[in-house]
Every structure is written in C-alpha cells, then in structure tokens.
A = this chain, B = another copy of it.
Amino acid sequence: MKYVFGSDIGGTTVKLGLFDESGELLDKWEIPTDKTDHGANIVGDVCESIKSKMEEKGIASADVIGVGVGAPGAVNEDGVMTGGAVNLGWPVFNLREAMEEKLGGIKVAAGNDANVAAFGEMVKGGGKGYKNVVAVTLGTGVGGGVIIGGKLITGATGAAGEIGHIKVDDVETEKCNCGHTGCLEQFASATGIARLARKRLAKDDKPSVLRSAELLDAKAVFDAVKAGDEVADEVAKEFGRYLGKGLAVVADVVNPEIFVIGGGVSKAGEVLLSYVEPEFKNTAFPPCSGSKFALATLGNDAGIYGCAGMVLSEN
C-alpha cells in the first residue's frame, strides 16, 4: 500500500490528512500555525507532524507517493510563493523545495490554498466527474480556483482564479481590501452580504426580521429568505445579481462545465444557487451560459483532499 499526505496551511491551524493511493482519507488531524518569527517554523512543524504520523503508522518514506501542500498566497508552477504569504508573515521563497528538503526527498506538490481546495472539490466533492471546473469560495473574502482539462490553472504569477477581485460595479465608492472599488468580494462574500443587508435596512423602514437580528450576517440573511422575509429576498437578489454577473465573465473566459460554490456562505444551501443561476444565464454569452451549478460538499476538508489529488494527478 502507498500513501499520500495533504497539508492545508491556514492562518490559525494547519489541517493535515493521510490518504491511500486511491485518494481515500485514512486519518486527519490539525496542528496550530506558529506565526512567530515571520512564520519561520511553520514548514518545519508541518514536516515534523508528517514524519511523526509516518512513524506512528509504520509508513516508510519509500511508501509515500508524495505530500501536497496548500498555502494562503500565490504559488507558481515551480512551487514559489511569488508574493510570500501576508497572513503568515512569509517572504518570497520556494515552498515546494523547502518542504522536500525537510522531508528527505519525498516529492512535494504546492499550490494556493483556494486553488487546492477547488481541486479537492473536483476530485471528491461537488465537481466530481468533471474536468473543467471553477470553484468559488464565498467566505470572509471571495476566492476561486480554475481547473481546465483536470489541471489547475496557476497563471504567470500563481494568481489565476482571483475572481473575488473582478470589477462588477462601476459606481461603488467604498474600497475593497485590494485597494480598488467595485470588486465582486465587496458584494458576494460573507462580509459583502452583511454590508448589502446593512445598506438595504438603512434605506427605508420596511419591516424585516433582519432589523432585530442579533448578528446581521450572511446566515441571518438566508435564514430570513427561507422564512419569506421580503427585505432579505431583496438583499439576496442583489447578491445574486453581482455573483451571477461575475461568474458570467468567468464563463466567457474559460467556459467551465460546472461552478462549485463553497465557503461559509454556501451553508445557506440550494436557495443560494436559485439567486445566482438565473442571473448567470442572463448575463453570460449564450454559448457560454450552459455551465451547471453545484454546492461544494467537502467543507474544510476540501484543502487536504485537493493536496492529495494534486500529488496523485502528477503520478
């Protein structure tokens, strides 16, 4: 039996997984992310944790096909973090080579965390069975991963799939974290939906359960939608217009078979897709408007599944 490890490095924890050669998850665990000293210990900690697991399970290096790693920053084809990783304090360096050195020659595949999670959803999640998939993560921000012909697109500097920063509004004046205005992320992320809700409630006095919500977040909005609240419906429609429009552009460029929608916001379920899909179909160039929509199914495990998938697709 051969094995694969996945390691999804986040700002708080590193999620790790042990997989068999068919990509089935055998074990998963977490270690804290040590951000002291500009994150200088993280790579060593991850590799030590993998080596401990190998010892615990009696797995020899020769039986490890490879280790996949996802990190929160742009990663190019060679495994270089081309802009470092701001959240971890990392400078520009070759993540793949650094891990291979510490793992004594075990092969490593490295990718951007959102891209790797997208890959996980293709191999084992909502996009299973497809080879042309765009995964969309609606979390604090909006991330994405573009998979064409079964391969992740990284782009020139590892920044492909940054669909959260597609400009979808010309009149917005509030700034996005990236410094621009009108980015998809400002309307379709968890924080974006909350912002749309606040703005809508401030507009007039129309009654809504959202006015008494303890926490006016994306969950409150979609819960209210399900309860038939008209104001929440308006907010969801606005969210759907922006996301549908943004994804239409993505379809015009790469014409995927399916969009897989994940991230915290997607916990709203199928109702979310009902606001996005019609807007998408009305805006995409007609020959590009046939893409299917599905919800992501792997949740926080998408990253480790994608890490394993990357290794297995290269072998």
Which A residues lie at the B interface, using CB under 8 A? 74, 77, 82-83, 132, 146, 148-149, 151, 153-163, 165-167, 169-170, 178-180, 183, 245, 248-250, 252-257, 283-288, 290-291
> For A256, what are the chain B residues with a Cβ–Cβ distance below 8 Å?
155-156
> For A161, what are the chain B residues with a Cβ–Cβ distance below 8 Å?
253, 255
> For A283, what are the chain B residues with a Cβ–Cβ distance below 8 Å?
167, 180
**Known interface pairs A132-B156, A155-B132; A252-B165 also in contact (CB < 8 Å):** yes
Residue of B nearest to A257 (CB): B156
Smallest Cβ distance from A64 to chain B, in angstroms? 27
Report the separation of the CA atoms of residues A149 and B154 in the bound assembly, to the nearest whole angstrom: 9
- B167 in contact with A170 (CB, 8 Å): no
Sample of 14 more A-B contacts, CB < 8 Å, known A158-B255, A165-B285: A148-B155, A154-B255, A155-B255, A155-B256, A156-B291, A159-B255, A159-B288, A162-B255, A162-B288, A167-B248, A178-B286, A183-B285, A253-B253, A254-B254
Smallest Cβ distance from A181 to chain B, in angstroms? 10
**Known interface pairs A156-B132, A167-B245; A286-B179 also in contact (CB < 8 Å):** yes
Report the separation of the CA atoms of residues A249 and B156 in the bound assembly, to the nearest whole angstrom: 15
> For A288, what are the chain B residues with a Cβ–Cβ distance below 8 Å?
155, 157, 159-160, 162, 165
- B286 in contact with A167 (CB, 8 Å): no
Smallest Cβ distance from A132 to chain B, in angstroms? 5
Smallest Cβ distance from A139 to chain B, in angstroms? 17
Residue of B nearest to A245 (CB): B167
Report the separation of the CA atoms of residues A287 and B254 in the bound assembly, to the nearest whole angstrom: 20
